[in-house]
Structure 1
């Protein structure tokens, strides 16, 4: 049975420091019904570009509660310090941090949905260590983030922080169709390049041809690195060699393999959520999600728009090659959750043991 607890509210007041322009949160100590053992984090664990933003928005609007993130540099209030999610706890400055919206009351539930990409992955980062993850390093990435700091000279700086796994009480683990997820990563790369490298956008236009060209340059960079990594054996390399964007699909599967491993080690409840569920069973999945969080639905979720898939960005041979590689590299729990995306392109599953 899920416990539904009172919410911890933090109100905002105007600054009392004549030299400060930023809004300062009024901090309230937890009451006896909101003791430190009763509050905690629900990780929203997601490989980048797999539905994190919509899930955060849906929970926030459905339940009229505040959500959080490991990444305190996010948000609209760029000139203010990151707001700790649990200000009365020791090491509050280590995160996570609230998603603060100007003019909106902060209402912190006992189980606070918190965004983490568990380190995330830079698509263009090709150093060997970017492909070598262990459960321990992955866990560290899940707990790590950044906070925005205002120094004594009123300059905005940032610092890396990390909180304790004891704060994590539950996990929501999101899956997205790997074909679509990797194309979404291409779209993110274009967005990141747009401001400083406009010529890059001409080289990699926002269409099938641009995506395939992007994949080619990633493969040229990744192939020698992956082949030099000791735990990428010959059978895995053979399965990978004809996969477009091999580094992205490798990272996608490794990420989900390790997400299952870490959740198992933590021995906490986990909800599996597939991105397409928002299209096919919206009411059911949002009810399941808010029930899992122990929250009541009192608002209305934003419209979910998912009118584009990207299978046409891949040739039929690409699809078979990708399916073969994923079957080879996925652990059993991962395979069970991605197999339906690949069923038209692969015959018999042969996943690794978890």
Structure 2
């Protein structure tokens, strides 16, 4: 049977000639389109490794339209094309697939904002004002060149707040940190922070113990109790990130927001796609992307340790964020 996707750009990587031809065709169309007639931004707002890549692929491939990103190095095929006509091509956001058409209403745009560092002192993720967080949500960042400019906040009209189980999320980020060690040829760090439970818990121990003086100032009278929570430093970053995301979306911008939980893709991926596409005013023209669940790392912790983590989150998360997290508490509540 002939493959129904064989003639589309999503089935295989196009040849260099096809890329150039499609890019030029779409560029002509976009260049004639006034900024006010281009799609508004719908943030895909996520703590790294929350299911961002799957969500981007799902929307891109099943709608057969491009998505966007704040991060220029992610532009496909080496073509960096900004969404709006501006004086500099370095302005975000960037069209991820410049050889595909733009959505008419909203273009989903990836942003991690700030405050998600792994090996950093508390001052790097606690001393962030809500304005700092908002500014980084709309800023371009490049690991080689630092920060580029930022786009007008008025262009952002919707947002998707993506969440994953906090334990799975922080372990996945640890695995990403190991990849950075590998790229930097940090052999000694790779030997200490191994690709297993033992290596991850060593990272937790280092994060929990290295900056005690700063943590005492942050937690004050609660510091002794916080110290008992394994991996509290990594979890604290996660809590603060989601607190700020909620405040930006619901208190400052007050824009329509869709909450998506990564694990729900595994329960009913088509239902989640339907909600997502309806929110973005998109039509599913293909049914191609299959969800393959990432690893779970709950067994890295004992039942008691997991309960302590949930109690810690409940204490320091906004009530609205705790409502989002509560589904992960094993008995539906926190101790």
Partners of 2:283 and 2:123 lie apart in 1 by: 46
Matched residue, 2:92:
95
Which TM-score applies when normalising by structure 1? 0.81
SS in 1 for 2:141: strand
Q: Deviation of residue 223 (structure 1)?
A: 2.9
Matched residue, 2:166:
178
Partners of 2:325 and 2:146 lie apart in 1 by: 37
Partners of 1:318 and 1:210 lie apart in 2 by: 17
- Is the contact between residue 144 and residue 162 of structure 1 (CA under 8 Å) also seen in structure 2? yes
SS in 2 for 1:26: helix
- Is the contact between residue 61 and residue 289 of structure 2 (CA under 8 Å) also seen in structure 1? yes
Matched residue, 1:203:
192
Matched residue, 2:9:
none
* Deviation string, structure 1 residues 185-241 (Cα, Å, up to 9, x no partner): 111111111131123222122111111111111112243222233xx3423x34421
Among 111, 132, 139, the residue aligned to 2:134: 139
Q: Deviation of residue 59 (structure 1)?
A: 0.5
Partners of 2:311 and 2:224 lie apart in 1 by: 10
SS in 2 for 1:317: helix
Among 177, 188, 191, the residue aligned to 1:189: 177
Matched residue, 1:256:
242
Alignment size in residue pairs: 313
Matched residue, 1:57:
57
Partners of 1:52 and 1:42 lie apart in 2 by: 14
Does 2:145 correspond to 1:165? Answer: no
Matched residue, 2:15:
none
Q: Deviation of residue 301 (structure 1)?
A: 3.6
Flag the 1:129–1:168 CA change in 2: closer, same or farther, 3 A: same
- Is the contact between residue 239 and residue 321 of structure 1 (CA under 8 Å) also seen in structure 2? no
Matched residue, 1:217:
206
Among 264, 271, 275, the residue aligned to 1:284: 271
Flag the 1:115–1:307 CA change in 2: closer, same or farther, 3 A: closer
Among 102, 110, 113, the residue aligned to 1:108: 102
Deviates more, 1:215-224 or 1:43-52: 215-224
Matched residue, 2:82:
84
Q: Deviation of residue 131 (structure 1)?
A: 1.9
Q: Deviation of residue 95 (structure 1)?
A: 0.9
Which TM-score applies when normalising by structure 2? 0.85
- The root-mean-square deviation of aligned C-alpha atoms, in Å, is 2.7
Matched residue, 2:125:
130
Q: Deviation of residue 133 (structure 1)?
A: 2.3
SS in 2 for 1:106: coil
Gaps of 5+ in 2: 1-17
Does 2:33 correspond to 1:36? Answer: no
Matched residue, 2:66:
66
- Counting only pairs closer than 5 Å after superposition, residues 295-306 of structure 1 correspond to structure 2 as 295-306=282-293
Does 2:215 correspond to 1:226? Answer: yes
Flag the 1:163–1:35 CA change in 2: closer, same or farther, 3 A: closer
Matched residue, 1:7:
none
Among 241, 259, 272, the residue aligned to 2:227: 241
- Counting only pairs closer than 5 Å after superposition, residues 323-334 of structure 1 correspond to structure 2 as 323-334=310-321
Flag the 1:301–1:223 CA change in 2: closer, same or farther, 3 A: farther
SS in 1 for 2:42: strand
SS in 1 for 2:161: strand
* Deviation string, structure 1 residues 4-32 (Cα, Å, up to 9, x no partner): xxxxxxx9657xxxxxxx9897343455x
Flag the 1:44–1:220 CA change in 2: closer, same or farther, 3 A: same
- Is the contact between residue 75 and residue 97 of structure 2 (CA under 8 Å) also seen in structure 1? yes
Partners of 1:201 and 1:285 lie apart in 2 by: 37
Q: Deviation of residue 181 (structure 1)?
A: 0.6
Partners of 1:221 and 1:198 lie apart in 2 by: 21
Q: Deviation of residue 160 (structure 1)?
A: 1.8
Partners of 1:75 and 1:57 lie apart in 2 by: 13
